[in-house]
Amino acid sequence: MKITTEITDRDKKLLLFLAIFVIVVVFGFFIIRPLAETDAALKEELAVQEELQIRTQQKLMLLPSMQANVEKTEEELAAAAEDFYPVMKSQEIDKLLTGIALSWGLESRQLVIQMPEGEMILDPFYASQAALEEMLSQAIGQDGEEQTDTVQKTSTSFYGIYAAQVMLTIKGERSVLEQMADEISEDYPAIRITGAVWGKENSSLRNEAGEYVSSLNDTLQLQMEIYMYKRDE
């Protein structure tokens, strides 16, 4: 039996169709599909960038107002800082308070000073314009996006303020003790009295006859905060 390998016109058409089909499949899988995926990714990235641009524009619109508010607040802080003491050592605080007591003819019985471990952070009053603008700025970026340097630079929190905790016990006449406490409250803006406790103390003095005479004296224990401000170099 003789086998022939003659290709008929029908076979040629079938082979041509298969070749075209393979080319189309290969072209679609290796070229069209990657291009379509790349196009979808680019469209998604474009949408993200457009949304980011809108947020950035919103922040930039707030920037002039926030900067002006920060400058104004910093000026007010600088003016208020004039009433603060410079950062002092415990010996200097001791000298300051002992001097106040002695100026009234009172006797300092005990002085406990707790120096600050770190600076205080002052935030704007929650109902102030500075606080409202800061909350608005945070609301714009609350979707998890990190705050930009521009927004960080407009922060309205202030640093460099330290508060020493002091407990001073003094002895003397009650009326004089009251006057001294009033003077501290009115004339020393960087000293805040946070508590006061009255007490009594027995004292024994030797008179000219060599006899000991006991007397009962008033004492006043003041809890205070002394505010100090360290200016930026």
Decide if 17 is inside a domain: no
Range of the domain at 97: 81-229
| Residue 39 tokens, joined | 């196009």
Decide if 60 is inside a domain: no
* Residue-wise pLDDT tens digits, 110-143: 999 999 988 876 665 556 565 666 666 666 555 5
pLDDT for res 14:
76
Work out the burial of residue 77: count CB atoms within 10 Å of its CB; fewer than 13 is exposed, 13-18 middle, 19 or more buried: middle
For residue 117, report the phi and psi dihedrals to the nearest 5 degrees: -85, -20
85 and 34 Cβ atoms separated by less than 8 Å: no
Give how many domains the chain has, as a whole number: 1
Decide if 8 is inside a domain: no
Single out the residue of 113, 145, 125 nearest to residue 69, CA to CA.
125
Quick check: 154 pLDDT over 50?
no
Rounded to two decimals, the pTM is: 0.55
pLDDT for res 211:
73
Single out the residue of 177, 216, 179, 213 nearest to residue 200, CA to CA.
216
Decide if 173 is inside a domain: yes
Domain containing 108 — which CATH number? 3.30.70.60
* Residue-wise pLDDT tens digits, 196-214: 999 998 877 677 777 776 7
Decide if 15 is inside a domain: no
Decide if 59 is inside a domain: no
